[in-house]
Structure 1
Amino acid sequence: MQMSRILPDVIVIGSGAGGGSLTKRLADIGLRVLLLERGGSLPREPDNWDVEKVFRQKKYSPLEVWQDRSGKTFRPSSWYNVGGSTKFFGTVMMRLRSRDFEAVEHEEGLSPAWPFPYKELEPFYADAERLFGVHGDPSQDPWEPPRSAPLPYPAVGSEPYVASVEKRLRGTGVHPFPLPVAVDLHPGGKCVRCATCDGFPCSVGGKNDAETRCVEPAIRTGRVELWTDAFVRRLLLAADGRTVNAVEVYHEGEIKVVTARTVVLSAGAVNSALILMRSATESFPNGLANSSDVVGRHYMTHNLTTMMAISGRLNPTKFQKTLAFNDFYDGEPGYPYPMGNVQTLGKLQSGMLVAGTKFLPSPVARALTRRSFDILTTSEDLPQPGNRVMLRNGGVQISVQASNMECHRRLNRRVKSILRDVGFPLILAKTLPVNFTAAQCGTIRMGADPATSALDPHCRSWDHTNLFVVDASFMPSSGAVNPALTIAAQALRVAEHIAVADFGAGKPIRDRA
């Protein structure tokens, strides 16, 4: 049996928004953690900001192929590296709305209630915002849920072109507000407001991701050991079937078995489900934590459309991801169903456009992107048991059908109309395909009933008392905002629960002097 440098209290599998945040909090409380990451640390290098390398050559994406529901292969939008997907996210860290924690009727189905209300997670939202150094001014969003503390840093501010669009948007009656972004832009910070943030790793460390804000400081405590390029094959059960006895991991060219009192799975909504499936035993033939048969089911992403609003005026903006509005999040007069969030994208560049569009000449792409104001619309993807992750002949299959698209189409029509009203006569839109795997969530859902969920409200497996799952897979619903902040907040909540309930720690860290 391979021994780690430390004798861990907890093994955490995955170092993204969930695993990274939880590891940081456990280390701060005083617990020892062995952190297993499937990938390595991304180098900081010029290629980080090279459109050709990142988008066309996909230098930092795994050479991995999945299948869709028809058996057609595709390369997923997933990354294996320290910090997980936060190394590539657009830095937006927005809270779910209060109503997202309740059962909400949509035009095409029900978004289920969470097993606890918004107010239970609110203090941990504030903790997560401090942890990731979020900039913004939520007071400008009339639909912002109640909060106990302001964001730790003020809004980064929009460049003149975006500020002029914001003024015209206000003239139409909508309520734009500064996007909450996790960037190191305060005095002495590393952010340089570049044009290569959204979708790119940061070559100067100016993006407040899970590596820089969680993993690196956790390692400095001396209570965390990180194994990179460590592929977790399966979890091994004790004879009683109620506890996870060990983790089998392929590391440094050999299969190793490591143990700890508590195991936390944070490998992402797809890979966490796959690990549980690969860990099947005679007593748990459908995989661990799966007595309810929900593991792998209720897979969600978001319904997403990118828009290029084009005018004759050049757009010189570099850091464009500074603006959003939620006027249609809960619907609009005459339409009582949720529609979604609208926000600016990171500034599109011609190479990015060509990489995602067949037969588009580079000069045309360059002309379009130089004159475009770039928008992302996001609507909720409803959980359906038939939308699922499966193991097929040793490979990965994502069997998904689109859901809740009518509200998304309505949102897009509304946004296009507004954009035309503020001076953009040409709008090019692309709705992302159903197998686009960004912001994946929901495959190991938590709930109040073991018959219909895999995890309890603290993300503890109903079936195995020392197993937790803390990544986007715990989410019963997806809402219409990036899940990163919600994952981090729940990770902090779960870390404190583990420390108190499993290790007898004293008061939560927020209450200690």
Structure 2
Amino acid sequence: MSEHYDLIVIGSGPGGASLAHRLAPTGKRILILERGDYLPREEANWSPQAVFVEGRYQADETWRNADGGSFKPQLHYNVGGNSKVYGAALFRLRERDFEEVRHHGGVSPAWPLGYEAFARYYDEAEALFHVHGRRGEDPLDPGAAPYPFVPVKHEPKVAELAGKLAGIGLHPFHLPLGILLDQKEDGFATPTSTCMRCSFFDGFPCLLNGKADAQVICVDPILKAHDNVTLLTGAYVSKLDTDASGRRIDAVHVTRGGKEEVYTAGTVVVACGALSSALLLLRSANKRHPNGLANGSDQVGRNYMRHEMSIVMAVMRHVNETVFQKTLALSDFYFDSGDADFPHPLGLIQMCATSHADQIKGEAPLAGLMKHLPDMPFAEMARHSMDFWLQTEDLPIPENRVYYEDGEVHLDVAETNEEALGRLKAKLKQVLSDIGWPAVLVERSLYLGKDIPLSGTAHQAGTCRFGTDPATSVLNLDCRAHEVDNLYVTDASFFPSIGAVNPTLTIIANALRVADLLKDRL
């Protein structure tokens, strides 16, 4: 089977779906290839046991780490990609994130394009993905235009926390969230709202499709409105072939339903996620590209980043009855720790969804729990906790990479900025003490002694960095491969650095930017 399209987009996550959404009105024939299927809408969507303990929606794969051990990556192959289970926190990178930033662990390199190249596309990305927030609260937010939707209101305990943080001179702000929510004056969802402000948010699929994910916002609307767009699910792209010159992709090989199919297009966009995109290019090696497609620089798969991250339960004396907890963030320590003995950036503190007893039991290291809270049942622990997501910038180094060896996928990751993450945890503990809410901080992590383990791939970035020098980068400033004239990459692979904010809004904004560049080409 072979069929020709004007554009083939490989991957239906934010980077691929946003680009397809932008280009669908051109009338050009567009094929979206997704290796998974629609994530089932079922009662288990909101089961902590099914989602976190059993990994019901995660890819059934086994990869190797640097020591030769094995692990299961927390990847999600479905329409909408990983955005089906993301936390929908949609931040802009800070203006300084586009510049060189010196950290305790090393240097975060400057981007070859500055914030101004992305500014208008951030505006459009916020509108497309229904971002709720309040401009001006976050002192580091570079946006100028108001958010398209009002902020998701704090519930009483979170509002009290915000007031106490402000009372000691900090600047808490409403977390920018992509969510399909209409609010009553009391902050709860209206009867006509898609979102109902439940406690099943971070890491859960949304049973109501109330989360602004790539399927709900981009894929389904364009399939309904544009008959020039085709989606094939269960379509695993095994490799990309080039013509004899090596300069153009002339075949996209797909395995679907146990059969081999071949598709062609004038332009091919790869947007499988930073890990899977790099693996696709590596397994597409040929005579003209012996080290992997577009890999003359030997940078494909390298400089992998995912943030230094930690999910922390702050267990306190008082009961926390908050249902929808993910509404507050704090960036006061993002570029400056405020400590004379550590004149370096720390990162971002944001709240995450409420912990559930089964989730704590399945995720947290029992030895750590028993040490700190020996007599507290899991359900009681959940009632007394407020939950925070801490992230510090992960620094790009060539040794952190994904690759194939002996037919198996290997992912080598060495921590690059651990000291900053440790100090950010200490800062959270101190801040809670300063406001009169002393807490025991408990890691919600599968591996004792680790924060987010190697299997955590939520913020994957950096495996096909863009730049002006083909010797040190994979893509040019248009996110087109230096070595292949009709190949583009629009997921977070192109990031030269990752900052310390969630990457999805930048992925969307860049995909819209690249789509505009492709309009003339198509």
Q: TM-score range by the shorter chain?
A: over 0.9
Q: Which of residues 85, 89, 111 in structure 1 aligns to 2:86?
A: 89
Q: Take 1:37 and 1:467, find their aligned partners in 2: how far apart are those partners? A: 17
* Aligned position for 1:190: 194
Q: 1:144 and 2:144 equivalent?
A: no
Question: Is 1:307–1:427's contact at 8 Å kept on the other side of the alignment?
Answer: no
Question: Is 1:305–1:429's contact at 8 Å kept on the other side of the alignment?
Answer: no
Q: What letter is aligned with 1:370?
A: R
Question: Is 1:402–1:434's contact at 8 Å kept on the other side of the alignment?
Answer: no
Q: What letter is aligned with 1:265?
A: V
Deviation string 1:88-146 (CA, Å, 9 cap, x unpaired) is 00110010000111111112211111111001101000111111011111311111114
Deviation string 1:296-315 (CA, Å, 9 cap, x unpaired) is 10011010122211222111
Deviation string 1:460-490 (CA, Å, 9 cap, x unpaired) is 0000000001101110001101111000000
Identity of matched residues, %:
45
Deviation string 1:401-457 (CA, Å, 9 cap, x unpaired) is 100112222222111100122233332232223453220110011011111100011
SS of 2:162's partner is helix
Deviates more, 1:424-433 or 1:45-54: 424-433
Q: Take 1:63 and 1:424, find their aligned partners in 2: how far apart are those partners? A: 42
Alignment of 1:31-430 (within 5 A): 31-147=28-144, 149-186=145-182, 188-220=192-224, 221-333=226-338, 334=340, 335-359=342-366, 364-430=377-443
CA RMSD of aligned residues (A): 1.5
Q: Take 1:364 and 1:417, find their aligned partners in 2: how far apart are those partners? A: 26
Q: Take 1:358 and 1:234, find their aligned partners in 2: how far apart are those partners? A: 40
Deviation string 1:278-319 (CA, Å, 9 cap, x unpaired) is 000122111011111100100110101222112221111111
Q: Take 2:333 and 2:364, find their aligned partners in 1: how far apart are those partners? A: 29
Q: What letter is aligned with 1:19?
A: G
Q: Take 2:75 and 2:257, find their aligned partners in 1: how far apart are those partners? A: 23
Question: Is 1:24–1:214's contact at 8 Å kept on the other side of the alignment?
Answer: yes
SS of 2:2's partner is coil
Q: Take 1:363 and 1:232, find their aligned partners in 2: how far apart are those partners? A: 49
Q: What letter is aligned with 2:108?
A: S
1:76 CA displacement: 1.1
Q: Take 2:134 and 2:489, find their aligned partners in 1: how far apart are those partners? A: 32
Q: Take 1:26 and 1:67, find their aligned partners in 2: how far apart are those partners? A: 38
Aligned residues: 498
Deviation string 1:47-103 (CA, Å, 9 cap, x unpaired) is 111111111111111111111111111111210000001000011001000011111
SS of 2:377's partner is helix
Cα separation, partners in 2 of 1:197 and 1:146, compared to 1, 3 Å: closer
Question: Is 1:311–1:423's contact at 8 Å kept on the other side of the alignment?
Answer: no
Runs of 4+ residues deviating >6 angstroms: 360-363
Question: Is 1:444–1:454's contact at 8 Å kept on the other side of the alignment?
Answer: yes
SS of 1:123's partner is helix
Q: Take 1:344 and 1:437, find their aligned partners in 2: how far apart are those partners? A: 19
SS of 1:9's partner is strand
SS of 2:288's partner is coil
Q: Take 1:475 and 1:158, find their aligned partners in 2: how far apart are those partners? A: 33
1:242 CA displacement: 0.3
* Aligned position for 2:2: 2
Deviation string 1:361-398 (CA, Å, 9 cap, x unpaired) is 99721111110011111100000001100112222110
Q: Take 2:193 and 2:267, find their aligned partners in 1: how far apart are those partners? A: 36
Question: Is 1:330–1:336's contact at 8 Å kept on the other side of the alignment?
Answer: no
Q: Take 2:67 and 2:307, find their aligned partners in 1: how far apart are those partners? A: 20
* Aligned position for 1:508: none
Q: Take 2:33 and 2:505, find their aligned partners in 1: how far apart are those partners? A: 22
Unaligned runs of 5+ in 1: 504-513
Question: Is 2:18–2:512's contact at 8 Å kept on the other side of the alignment?
Answer: yes
* Aligned position for 2:187: none
TM-score normalised to the size of structure 1?
A: 0.95
* Aligned position for 1:510: none
Q: 1:14 and 2:11 equivalent?
A: yes
Q: Take 2:453 and 2:55, find their aligned partners in 1: how far apart are those partners? A: 18
Q: Take 1:387 and 1:80, find their aligned partners in 2: how far apart are those partners? A: 23
TM-score normalised to the size of structure 2?
A: 0.93
Q: Take 1:77 and 1:435, find their aligned partners in 2: how far apart are those partners? A: 6
Question: Is 2:390–2:424's contact at 8 Å kept on the other side of the alignment?
Answer: yes
Q: 1:24 and 2:45 equivalent?
A: no
Q: Take 1:227 and 1:129, find their aligned partners in 2: how far apart are those partners? A: 28
Deviates more, 1:376-385 or 1:102-111: 102-111
Q: What letter is aligned with 1:202?
A: C
Q: What letter is aligned with 1:161?
A: K
Q: What letter is aligned with 1:190?
A: T
Q: What letter is aligned with 1:276?
A: L
* Aligned position for 1:454: 474
Question: Is 1:276–1:289's contact at 8 Å kept on the other side of the alignment?
Answer: yes
1:240 CA displacement: 1.2
SS of 1:91's partner is coil
SS of 1:259's partner is strand
1:42 CA displacement: 1.0
SS of 1:246's partner is strand
Question: Is 1:138–1:178's contact at 8 Å kept on the other side of the alignment?
Answer: no
Deviation string 1:483-511 (CA, Å, 9 cap, x unpaired) is 110000000000110112x12xxxxxxxx
1:175 CA displacement: 0.4
Q: Which of residues 483, 498, 513 in structure 2 aligns to 1:463?
A: 483
Q: What letter is aligned with 1:486?
A: T
Question: Is 1:26–1:32's contact at 8 Å kept on the other side of the alignment?
Answer: no
Q: Take 1:198 and 1:137, find their aligned partners in 2: how far apart are those partners? A: 21
Q: Which of residues 452, 471, 485 in structure 1 aligns to 2:505?
A: 485
Q: What letter is aligned with 2:396?
A: P
Question: Is 2:253–2:260's contact at 8 Å kept on the other side of the alignment?
Answer: yes
Unaligned runs of 5+ in 2: 183-189, 444-450
